[in-house]
Structures are given as structure tokens and as C-alpha cells.
Amino acid sequence: MRLKFTKMHGAGNDFVVLNGLRQRIQLTSEQLRLLADRHFGVGCDQILLVETAQHPDADFRYRIFNADGGEVEQCGNGARCFMRFVHDHKLTHKREIVVETKNGLITPRLEDNGQVTVNMGAPIFEAARIPFLGSDDAVIQTLEVAGEAIQITTLSMGNPHAVQVVTDVEHAPVVIQGALIEQHPRFSQRVNAGFMQIVDHKHIKLRVYERGVGETLSCGTGACAAAVTGIRRGLLDARVNVATRGGVLNITWGGNDTPVFMTGPALAVFEGEITL
């Protein structure tokens, strides 16, 4: 099978984007892993697939596959790249579209400066819906990890997140502890592990160990989850600049059941073809 693709990134979180409107694409988990492999394939954190919408209110369907070949519910940086892709490839002339994901509808908008703002929907805090095995929906939960009790906040931004506050994100045990949190038995569908350093009420630094991928340079839903966590804990204002290793994302949340808005870059790197 020969596939055309576009390599893109949003703040260093990189993607292989496939146009399923103009070519029939049904890839096995093995083929997806090969495509994402940085030595034997194109290389990426996630593979994004553009398809015809099934929901009557959506313009497109947006499917996301992690580097391990598993399909997931949401990807915030990918949503921005998705908007940029369909606009640049003239699949739509709209600057704001409704996109169907595995976990509902989102609304990305292409700004005049080339950045993309995404209405990510309202965060979910109910443990059963994250899903997280907990006795209540308390903002701060204790999680036992390798004999250490850590304080986390759990929530869903269309996908599950566990966020902890650290003193120095550069020296946080992201790779080792992140992998243990991702696979923790209290998260039945695994989880994205966020490590957040508070700089001041408007700025944070963030690293995320992503489910099915490992640490990435940036995680859009992770940035949303971290900002929401800080706001809920009274540590952050409603507008937050999130500095990741790949760039800065701007997150806004009004609290309660209001939607989270994320703004950041979305860039095409190159186009090509690969035989799988």
C-alpha cells in the first residue's frame, strides 16, 4: 500500500496526517507502528486521519492513533494541525469548523496570525467518567507509585489525565514515574501523566508522559488539564501560558462546566509518500 502523507507539528508534538477523503485508508496496528517509527518509518508521536463526518453537525471526522498503534479519544495539538491541514489542502474554506472525535465534537478556529484556537469542551471531573478508580471526586487524590505517595489531580479533557505539581519540572522523574502512572491499575484505560511547575499565577512549565507514546515535546490536552488543575487549586488565573519543551500554548478556562480554549501553533513540515 502506498500512502501520501503530510508531516506536521504543534509546538513540537509531531504528527503524520493522512487524507482519508481522497484515499481509502485502513491500517493495521502493525502498519501504524511502522509509520510512527522514527528509524524505519516516517516518525511521529501520533497519526491523524481525516475522514468524512458521521455526525450530522460535523464538517469532518478526526481519528487519532498513538505511536503504539492504539486509537485514542483526543489530541489537542493534533486538533490544531487538523484545522491547518484541511484549510491548507483546500478541503474547506471555513476558518472555523466542527470536528467529530471519538469522544465528541470540538471546534477549531484558524486565527489571522496563523495560530489555531480550539474549543476543547468542558473538563470532566467525575472519577467514573475519566475513568479513575477513586472513592470520591476530590480535587487532590493520593496515588501510590513504587512505594511513594504522590498527590495528583485527575480529570478528562476527552482523554484521561493525572496532573501533579512539582518544584522543578526539569528534574522531575517524568520518564520513570510517568511510565508507572500511565500503567497504574487505578486507571483502567491508562492515563497521561502531567508534571507541572508553577512559575506565577499566569505561567507554568509542563512536561507530559503521554499514554501509548512516552514523553513528548508538547501535549495539548495535557496543557489544558494542567491549567485547569492549577485554576481549580487556586494556583493560577483564568488565562495561563503553558511552556512546554516544544513551545508555548495559551489556555483559558472560566471554571465549572465552561469550555477550555487552547491557542497555539500548527505547522506543516513536509509532504511525502510511503509504502507500507
Question: What residues are annotated to the active site?
Answer: 75, 219
**Residues across the chain:** 276
- Residue 195 CA to residue 172 CA, distance in Å, equals 7
* C-beta atoms surrounding 73 within 10 Å: 16
Q: Is the dihedral of CA 64, 130, 105, 234 positive or negative?
A: negative
CB 10 within 8 A of CB 218: yes
- Residue 47 CA to residue 100 CA, distance in Å, equals 16
Pairing verdict, β 160-165 and 192-200: parallel
- Residue 265 CA to residue 18 CA, distance in Å, equals 19
CB 97 within 8 A of CB 108: yes
- Residue 76 CA to residue 118 CA, distance in Å, equals 8
- Taking the alpha carbons at both ends of the chain, their separation in whole angstroms is 5
Angle between helices 76-88 and 220-232 (to 10 degrees): 130
Tell me the Cα Rg of the chain: 18
**74: Cβ–Cβ under 8 A, 6 or more apart, which residues?**
64, 101, 102, 103, 106, 120, 157, 158, 159, 221
**224 grid coordinates:** 489544558
Cell 489531580 appears where? 153
